[in-house]
Structure 1
Amino acid sequence: MPTRKRRNSRKTGSHKFFWGILLAGAALTAACYFPSPDDREAAPDSEEKRIEIQSVPNAPDIPQYGEPKAQDSQANVDSEHKDTDTNKNKTSLEEKVREFTSQTVKAAEKQVRKTTGNAFSEKKSPNSGSSSAKAVTPDKKKTQNRVNLPADGKVRLAVCIDDAGRDLNSQRVYEGLGIPLTLAVMPNEPHTSEAAAEWKSKGMPVIIHQPMESVSGKGMEKIVIKDSMSDEQIRSLIRQSIQQIPQASGMNNHQGSKATTDKRVMKIVMSELASRNMFFFDSATNTYTEADKAAALYHVPYARNNLFVDNSADVDAICRMIQKGAERARKNGSAIIIGHCRPNTAAAFKKMVPKLKAEGIEFVYLSSLTGK
């Protein structure tokens, strides 16, 4: 009878030990699944907005991912020797419980990694990436987006005046501003030749304001470069424009939201400009362009518009847009803006130029920002 009690006592002790280990494993699992708010690192300021758990300082019993607890490690070593000396197929109840607990913790950690997109802090190894690499990604982006001002500290603003050749009176207002301006003259207009010659006589550069096909197809000029044209038709049209405006040192697109996205068309345009040592100024009438890649292919100097300042006809609104262009130049070191040969736009520039010069803005020719 006492023997039976002793056996029952042993069974009860084993059961208590077993359930104790199970409860400990459950507690560890809960700790892994529900870390305290203080254990979470703030989500980085990035598009992914991931939560990265760097460490769990208040829970020393939670092992680092991939590392067993110290006491478990020693116990495993002892048990391995014991199994080797006796029978490898026999495993004590305590060892099974330890194994179960270890597996539970690892499974919990795996689930946390899967849920949060990261793991507990790992020790670096020479051949593995650091878990902190992801954490510094937002700072890397900020560094890459940070714009360096020119070494001389000057803020440069280039202004291109489009649609010349229609109205000589507003063009002459710009001539009297006393700042570097680039005039984009349209071919096939009543005053095309006169506008280009008069501007050039003032010692200022002229470019061709070449009409090109738009996405909508509305409001286009009678003669425009279209993607439906053959290579030779496009070349012929460009050559006609150059003949009308021989003073031109470059070209920009009038409309052209469709033509500038066509790889073939842009290659033909750039090959013609390259043969004459001319640059291309992308008016940016479409957010996507093939002009930059084609220009690079043919080694044509290239620049892209940053802002249209006169989408409104109101003088005060145009002044605000010119100021906005100056702010972009101040932020990035330089900027290019486009206005038009219109009376109110000319009046707005006449009002704003002295103000911007007083603020330290340096007006430059467009070509100086194309690398030409």
Structure 2
Amino acid sequence: MLTPKPVPVMPVALTVAKPERPKVLLIIDDIGDNYRLGKRVIDLPVTVNLAFLPRTPFARRLAQAGYQLGHEVMLHLPMESTTRKDLLREEALTQSLSESELRQKFFENLSDIPHVRGFNNHMGSLLTTLPQQMEWVMAFAAERQLYFVDSRTSSQSVALQQASEQGLRAVGRDIFLDPVGDQASVEKQLNKALALADKRGVVVMIGHPYRDTLDVLERRLPQLRKDYQFVSLTSYLNQTSTLAKESQAQQRDLKTLK
């Protein structure tokens, strides 16, 4: 009697999920005073979080154009600093203002820029250290369900803490791209930010519409977008909020099983 031959089994192709690319949240501040430089920002070939200064001549026009191109629009909210009082803008939030006066200025600034999803501080090394003023500001922002990015112009900032207490989604800046404006410095800071993204999976970096900064970004971004995800703050914060809720649900389920 012949022994039946075993049926050949085709090998199973093992597929390994490709690791998710690190996320980069690129914020460009101070947009609105110079149209040509602002246009270069919104023409960058990745998703950019555009932070517009209120009461500037080109902010509305550039915000509308950036929004139509799929970028995120933010309010770059002027706040009082500990130094350079000469740079304090008329629309800035200052410690001398009452709660009602702060509220009025906050919403006047917000209404000046279309399509705003969140805000960060322009200057603000003094105001962001004041718990009462930050509590008020974050409460105003919560009324419009805005998110907040702490530019971290002071190591003593309480802004993130107050944002959290008011229920705002919030993150802090990791890297400034251009504390010194030359291209070599920008390259160094960019590489530092990317290394942090590789290590942590995400980085929040802030730059400005300086010519040297834009020259570096225009040169580097076409290649970098292949290796990194440049995402909007709304997209990132929505994802982290969902993950946090799922984690909390899992913790509740585990307690129930016990």
Q: How does 1:121-132 map to 2 (within 5 A)?
A: none
Matched, 1:356 2:224: yes
Q: How does 1:158-169 map to 2 (within 5 A)?
A: 158-169=25-36
Partner residue, 1:142: none
- Residues 109-134 of structure 1: per-residue CA shift (max 9 Å, x gap): xxxxxxxxxxxxxxxxxxxxxxxxxx
Partner residue, 1:51: none
| 2:193 alignment partner, one of 311, 320, 325 | 325
Amino acid at match of 1:204: H
Partner residue, 2:95: 227
Q: Which has the higher strand share?
A: 2
CA distance, structure 2, for counterparts of residue 310 and residue 370 of structure 1: 25
Partner residue, 2:49: 182
| 1:280 alignment partner, one of 140, 148, 152 | 148
Task: Report how far residue 227 of structure 1 moved.
Answer: 1.3
Does structure 1 conserve the Cα–Cα contact (< 8 Å) formed by 2:78 and 2:91?
Answer: yes
Partner residue, 2:78: 211
- Residues 98-149 of structure 1: per-residue CA shift (max 9 Å, x gap): xxxxxxxxxxxxxxxxxxxxxxxxxxxxxxxxxxxxxxxxxxxxxxxxxxxx
CA distance, structure 2, for counterparts of residue 154 and residue 339 of structure 1: 22
Amino acid at match of 2:205: I
Q: How does 1:102-141 map to 2 (within 5 A)?
A: none
- Residues 80-102 of structure 1: per-residue CA shift (max 9 Å, x gap): xxxxxxxxxxxxxxxxxxxxxxx
CA distance, structure 2, for counterparts of residue 193 and residue 174 of structure 1: 15
Provide the secondary structure at the position in 2 that maps to 1:370: helix
Query: What is the percent sequence identity of the aligned residues?
Result: 27
Does structure 1 conserve the Cα–Cα contact (< 8 Å) formed by 2:23 and 2:228?
Answer: yes
Provide the secondary structure at the position in 2 that maps to 1:210: strand
Q: Which has the higher contact order (CA 8 A, sep 6+)?
A: 2
- Residues 10-64 of structure 1: per-residue CA shift (max 9 Å, x gap): xxxxxxxxxxxxxxxxxxxxxxxxxxxxxxxxxxxxxxxxxxxxxxxxxxxxxxx
| 2:179 alignment partner, one of 302, 308, 311 | 311
Rg larger in structure: 1
CA distance, structure 2, for counterparts of residue 355 and residue 154 of structure 1: 13
Amino acid at match of 1:278: L
Task: Report how far residue 152 of structure 1 moved.
Answer: 4.5
Partner residue, 1:344: 212
Task: Report how far residue 353 of structure 1 moved.
Answer: 1.1
Partner residue, 1:239: 107
Provide the secondary structure at the position in 1 that maps to 2:167: coil
| 1:289 alignment partner, one of 157, 162, 172 | 157
Matched, 1:299 2:167: yes
Task: Report how far residue 248 of structure 1 moved.
Answer: 0.5
Normalised TM-score (structure 1): 0.57
Between the two proteins, the alignment pairs up a number of residues equal to: 221
Partner residue, 2:8: none
Gaps of 5+ in 2: 1-17, 242-258
Task: Report how far residue 369 of structure 1 moved.
Answer: 3.6
Does structure 2 conserve the Cα–Cα contact (< 8 Å) formed by 1:336 and 1:366?
Answer: no
Task: Report how far residue 365 of structure 1 moved.
Answer: 1.4
Amino acid at match of 1:226: T
CA distance, structure 1, for counterparts of residue 146 and residue 91 of structure 2: 22
Task: Report how far residue 321 of structure 1 moved.
Answer: 1.1
Does structure 2 conserve the Cα–Cα contact (< 8 Å) formed by 1:322 and 1:352?
Answer: no
Q: How does 1:77-116 map to 2 (within 5 A)?
A: none
- Residues 157-187 of structure 1: per-residue CA shift (max 9 Å, x gap): 1100000111121222232322110100000
Matched, 1:197 2:64: yes
Normalised TM-score (structure 2): 0.81
CA RMSD of aligned residues (A): 1.7
Task: Report how far residue 217 of structure 1 moved.
Answer: 4.1
Does structure 2 conserve the Cα–Cα contact (< 8 Å) formed by 1:207 and 1:251?
Answer: yes
CA distance, structure 1, for counterparts of residue 42 and residue 56 of structure 2: 20
Partner residue, 1:170: 37
Partner residue, 1:248: 116
Partner residue, 1:95: none
